[in-house]
A and B are shown apart, each in its own frame.
Chain A
Amino acid sequence: MGQIQITSLNKEFINRRRTKREDDPTPFGQVVPVLEDINIEIEDGEMVCFLGPSGCGKSTLMRIVAGFDRQSSGSVKIDGKEITGPSSDNIFVFQHSGLLPWMTVWQNVELGLRKMADKDEQCEKIQEYIEMVELEGFEDHYPHQLSGGMLRRAELARALVVNPDILIMDEPFSGLDFLTHMKLREEVVNMHQFLGKTILVVTHDIDDALVMGDRIIVFSRRPSQIKMNRKLDFPHPRNFFKKDHELAKLRDELFFMLGVNYAV
């Protein structure tokens, strides 16, 4: 289960910047509100995309949900239980690769299953998830030997193998080249439809949010409040680039040639 309920959540921090900036009205040592009265209810199995200007506290909210940070007031409940700290039930997929660089892909994926008693079953499961993200043949590679897209996929496999209720992705496609970005996005959408997990995605990319999300939540500038919270009831694969039919067809064709099936 992965139902999340965030009620009247506030987050503040103390300004530690000594040099003043023009757009920064709070002086040194004062309390800066980041998130103000946030109320969100996320159903089990929903994919929710968080949009907002940078520095608005999207990542902070994700860190609170993942248990790495504490809210100043309000509550976050997962399946009715207050969060006490990080756990393998809700896995954070990091913005900058969190694969341990001294372990191979296999060893990294193994982390979540290391307490499993049945070694054969463990092996099978690791192999299954490595194949799911199409990294077979790279089991014994170290992270520095992989490309950016492969790193994200390995991290995805590591997160999914634990079978978490909630997956939190902080800008999962940042720093990837365009095609890898599109392919990975497609894979995440497919994976979500297949596994039905609750997924929270922080992104800057409006297209990403429109293509992926079951729901879009838009934050305002700091101190952040929710500006929009809308359900997207469109079937996948989504395509909103259909005005000029010929051109759209050509675009689809080009994408298909380059390996992205459902282009937008």
Chain B
Amino acid sequence: MSPFAEKTAPFFSFTILIIAWELAVRLGGLNTNSLPGPSQVFLSMIELIRNGAIFKHTVASLFRVTAGFYLSALLGIPIGIILGRSQTLALFFNPVIHFLRPISPLAWIPLAMLWFGIGDQPAIFLIFLSSFFPIVVSTAVAVQSINPTYFHVAANFDFSRTEVIKKIVIPAIIPDIITALRLTVTISWIVVVAAEMIAVQSGLGYLILDARNGLRMDYVLDGMIVIGLIGILLDAIMRRLGQIDSASWGIRQM
């Protein structure tokens, strides 16, 4: 495919989607209360932009995702490194981690509300849970799969323990960590919407829930569109991280 076609393809697919949607609503005789057309959605979006509501909710959601995500990376990566380096600790804690990992963060909602009440904290806690376990597990796996030759090099050049972590372990796992972060940031973005439907009075999840209660399906769709757009943006940011020269050694090598 030519580079031009590659760049314009997404615009084409979206244009087709929007036209099909508009036609279905207009010609298909669908009830605009249950599925508003794109034009109506677009107009209400302008409304939401004018009164600033959409920005307020987006910032609120992004704040929660950032806080929860940072927290899980800050705790998850070091714990993953420890579990990856120590077989004994891994033997003890892996069963617990693998037991807790498949429990949906949403199942924690009742407990989270009981512990943290109403507000930002329970939502941040849920996001933390959603990304913490995947980050721990993929960090530990990444550490275990480091080529043993590099540890021999470290021994040959008399590396200290901290040097092994700083010069071997961390750079070696960076490509895997970036992939893990890229996957988990999407999960946390999914979870934030669900968390906001329960515990808080702001955020895109709350916007959608509130619009549903007011039977404004156009606002619901506006919320969904913004969620989708920010999801793409978050993924693009994480992908840029992976293109830094010293971090991309593993990806380029393949």
Q: Which residues of A contact B (CB under 8 A)?
A: 66-68, 85-88, 91-92, 94, 96, 98, 100-103, 111-112, 142-144, 162
User: Which DSSP category, helix, strand, loop or mixed, fits chain A's interface?
Assistant: loop
Known interface pairs A111-B157, A112-B157, A144-B253; A102-B152 also in contact (CB < 8 Å): no
Residue pairs across A and B with Cβ atoms less than 8 A apart, 27 shown, are A66-B156, A86-B155, A86-B156, A87-B156, A88-B156, A88-B157, A88-B158, A91-B156, A92-B152, A92-B156, A94-B152, A98-B149, A98-B152, A98-B153, A100-B150, A100-B153, A100-B167, A101-B249, A101-B253, A102-B172, A102-B246, A102-B249, A103-B167, A103-B246, A111-B153, A111-B157, A112-B157
Which of A68, A85, A87, A111 is packed against the most chain B CB atoms within 10 Å? Answer: A111
| Chain B residues within 8 Å of A85, by CB | 155
For A104, the closest partner residue in chain B by CB is B246
Please list the 10 inter-chain residue pairs (A to B) with the smallest Cβ-Cβ separation, ordered nearest first. Answer: A102-B171, A86-B155, A101-B249, A98-B153, A144-B253, A98-B149, A102-B249, A111-B157, A86-B156, A88-B158
B152, chain A: closest CB distance, angstroms: 6
A50, chain B: closest CB distance, angstroms: 19
Are A100 and B168 closer than 8 Å at their CB atoms?
yes
B173, chain A: closest CB distance, angstroms: 10
In angstroms, Cα B155 to Cα A94, docked, is 13
In angstroms, Cα B157 to Cα A94, docked, is 13
Asked if B6 lies at the interface with its beta carbon under 8 angstroms from chain A, I say: no
Are A100 and B156 closer than 8 Å at their CB atoms?
no
In angstroms, Cα B174 to Cα A100, docked, is 13
| Chain B residues within 8 Å of A101, by CB | 249-250, 253
| Chain B residues within 8 Å of A68, by CB | 152, 155
Are B153 and A144 closer than 8 Å at their CB atoms?
no
Are B149 and A102 closer than 8 Å at their CB atoms?
no
**B218-253 contact mask (Cβ, 8 Å, vs A): 1 or 0:** 000000000000000000000000000111011011
In angstroms, Cα B157 to Cα A92, docked, is 10
Are A144 and B152 closer than 8 Å at their CB atoms?
no
A150, chain B: closest CB distance, angstroms: 15
| Chain A residues within 8 Å of B247, by CB | 102
Are A96 and B155 closer than 8 Å at their CB atoms?
no
Known interface pairs A101-B249, A101-B250, A111-B157; A86-B152 also in contact (CB < 8 Å): yes
B251, chain A: closest CB distance, angstroms: 10
- Known A66-B156, A100-B167, A111-B153; 6 more pairs at CB < 8 Å: A88-B157, A92-B156, A94-B149, A98-B152, A102-B171, A102-B247
| Chain B residues within 8 Å of A92, by CB | 152, 156
A63, chain B: closest CB distance, angstroms: 9
| Chain B residues within 8 Å of A98, by CB | 149-150, 152-153
| Chain B residues within 8 Å of A102, by CB | 171-172, 174, 246-247, 249
For B245, the closest partner residue in chain A by CB is A142
In angstroms, Cα B246 to Cα A68, docked, is 29
| Chain B residues within 8 Å of A111, by CB | 153, 157
* CB-contacts of B164-186 with A (<8 A): 167-168, 171-172, 174
| Chain A residues within 8 Å of B168, by CB | 100
In angstroms, Cα B157 to Cα A85, docked, is 12
In angstroms, Cα B153 to Cα A112, docked, is 10
A59, chain B: closest CB distance, angstroms: 12
In angstroms, Cα B173 to Cα A101, docked, is 12
A181, chain B: closest CB distance, angstroms: 21
In angstroms, Cα B156 to Cα A66, docked, is 8
In angstroms, Cα B159 to Cα A112, docked, is 10
B46, chain A: closest CB distance, angstroms: 48
| Chain A residues within 8 Å of B150, by CB | 98, 100
| Chain A residues within 8 Å of B152, by CB | 68, 86, 92, 94, 98
* CB-contacts of B130-145 with A (<8 A): none
A222, chain B: closest CB distance, angstroms: 23
B178, chain A: closest CB distance, angstroms: 13
Are A100 and B171 closer than 8 Å at their CB atoms?
yes
In angstroms, Cα B246 to Cα A94, docked, is 22
| Chain A residues within 8 Å of B149, by CB | 94, 96, 98
For A101, the closest partner residue in chain B by CB is B249
For A113, the closest partner residue in chain B by CB is B157
A230, chain B: closest CB distance, angstroms: 30
Are A142 and B249 closer than 8 Å at their CB atoms?
yes
A65, chain B: closest CB distance, angstroms: 12
Known interface pairs A86-B152, A94-B149, A98-B150; A144-B249 also in contact (CB < 8 Å): yes
For B152, the closest partner residue in chain A by CB is A68
